Structures are given as structure tokens and as C-alpha cells.
Amino acid sequence: MGDTAVKKRIFSGIQPSGELTLGSYMGAIRNWNALQSEYDCVYCIVDLHAITVRQDPAQLRRRCLTQLAQYLACGLDPEKCILFVQSHVPEHAELSWILGCHTQFGELSRMTQFKQKSQQHADNITAGLFTYPVLMAADILLYQADAVPVGADQKQHVELCRDIAQRFNGVYGDVFTLPEPLIPKVGARIMSLNNPANKMSKSDPEGCVNLLDKPEDIRRKFKRAVTDSETSVRYDPEAKPGVSNLLSIYSAASGKSVAEAEAEFSGQGYGVFKNAVGEAVVELFRPIREESERLLSDKAYLEGIYRQGAERARAVAIRTLRKVHRKVGFLSR
């Protein structure tokens, strides 16, 4: 245990609001994997965040379990990191309330994601959608995380988290570690196969490849991927967004550089190229899909993992929350 004391801590989580996608694998989970040996990692299935949009209860339960199986199948090791479900650690919701009392209304109304999601779900703009970044701050601060691996689109939430922590520390003394956003140096931004101007998203099923998609479905989606009216396979995100996206995916799936991929498909035409990208993704995901299916057939094992993960997470969370209670003036329990 000697070396874990000096390791910096990381917190990150993904919502179980749909299948894990090629985008979430390339952008997040593959990086989480690499960080396990370097950092003290806390990885969460953020089901409290998922309910800002109404979910089907049975489906949400199934997705949480499936996501845990996929985390494990992608190489996250419960011996090396803490893996748990957010709602199993009640301290998240409790700290969120306390931090909400130290967050300004104006700060939340300026959040880009709130503005976007309010437009997408105009008929269901809830208080939860508005205060979502406060819960995100609680997730991070509860574990005294030094860093948060995020995409560039989530950087604003980490900055708000730092602002809340600084404000709290300013009033009550040194309570929270100020987290830094950890934006991966590598990790291509994966765009929709249908519309390469948009990020790959679960809300566009045909433009999105999921970790558990059958090989024939993956091949079909790549065959139909949008390219352009030229025939040359070259990387130019401005002029050739579709082809450039496919090159990024091929490079990430095959381990070859974009320049090597360009050379490989020089003069080949798009048909050959799209088939090869599809095949590279099929082979990348094959072991993940097979291992996920094996794990999902052993519900007792998965339950053991998330119960043990929640116990380990709570041991850390309770220490932080006790300190917060004392600072704000609550009677000790």
C-alpha cells in the first residue's frame, strides 16, 4: 500500500443513459485504463445524473449492470481502481445540497450544457437539469480528486467545481482539494458517421457505433458512413470531415498513425477504405463484447464488484462529508 499514498487521485464517471459508444471508448474509457497504474482512480456509473432526463426504470437498472460489465471488459480492474454506482453512495446527493447553498444562480444559468439541454428537452426543464453541475462538483470534491479526465466540452463544469471549492474553502478553511481538468493529449474526438459535423451520440443510432453492436451492424454502419464526392483518402477536417473522421477512427482502432493510414489507402477508393475501418472496429470490440456477455451471465459476480466498490467509495466519501458537516456547523451524528 506504500505507493498509493503518493499517487494523485482521479474521479470520472459516465451516465448509464444508453449504450457505451465508440466515442466514449476512444475519448474516455481507453484513457481511464491507461491512468489506472499511474493514479488512484475512482470511476463511477453516474445514475443520479442520468435521471435529469426521464428514464425507463427497468432499462436504467439493466444499463447500469451492462455498463459495469463493459468497464470490466475494457480492462478496468477493481483491484487497481474503485468502480461503483453513484446512487449507492448517498454522500453524493448530500454534499450536492450543501454545495448548492454555496453556488450562485447566475453561475448555473451560464452553463453551456444547460442551455443546450434546455432546448433539446424544452418540455421537461427540471431543477435537476439546472443544478446538475453542482452534483458533478460534489462527485469530484467528495473524493478530494486532484484531476478529472474530461473532454474539452466538460471543462466548464470542472472550472465551476473549482470556483465552488475555492468559495467554500475561503469561508471555512482548507476543506477541498482543487481539481485540475485532465484533457487527454491523445484521443480523437469521434464524430457521427451520418453527420461528421456532430459528435458521435447515442441520440443518432445510425451514426453511432456501440461497444456491444454485432459485427454485421458495425460493418453496415461504416458502409453507409458519409464521405464526399472525391475519391482520395486524406486527412483534411475542414474540406473532408467524413473521411477525416474515418481516418481518426481507423488510426485509433488499428494503432497506425493517420499518415500510415493515408498511405495504406492511397488510390484505393472509399469502398475499400470504409470496409477496412469497419473491420478494424469489429476486431477492436470483439473481445470486449464477448467478455461483457460472459460477465453479464454472472450477475452475482457483478453485484459483488459494485457492492465492494460502494463500500470503498463510501469510506473516502464519509471522511470528506464529516469534515464538511463540522465546518458548516452541523451537530455530529
DSSP code per residue over 250-267 = HHHHH---HHHHHHHTTT
- In the annotation, is 115 catalytic? no
- In the annotation, is 327 catalytic? no
Q: Chain centroid to CA 111: how far?
A: 19
Residue 247 Cα distances to 92, 189, 199, 241, 328, angstroms: 40, 12, 15, 10, 53
Q: Which residues contact 118 (CB under 8 A, 6 or more apart)?
A: 125, 129
> Quick one: DSSP state of residue 237?
T
Catalytic residue among 80, 202, 256, 323: 202
Catalytic residue among 117, 221, 240, 274: 117
Long-range contact list for 98-105, CB < 8 A, 24+ apart? 98/324, 98/328, 99/134, 99/137, 99/138, 99/141, 99/164, 99/168, 100/131, 100/134, 102/164, 102/167, 102/168, 102/171, 103/131, 103/134, 103/137, 103/160, 103/164
Torsion of CA 108, 114, 119, 120, to 10 degrees: -150
C-beta atoms surrounding 332 within 10 Å: 6
- In the annotation, is 199 catalytic? yes
Catalytic residue among 80, 115, 185, 199: 199
Distance CA 309, CA 72 (A): 13
Distance CA 137, CA 158 (A): 7
Residues annotated catalytic, as ranges? 117, 199, 202
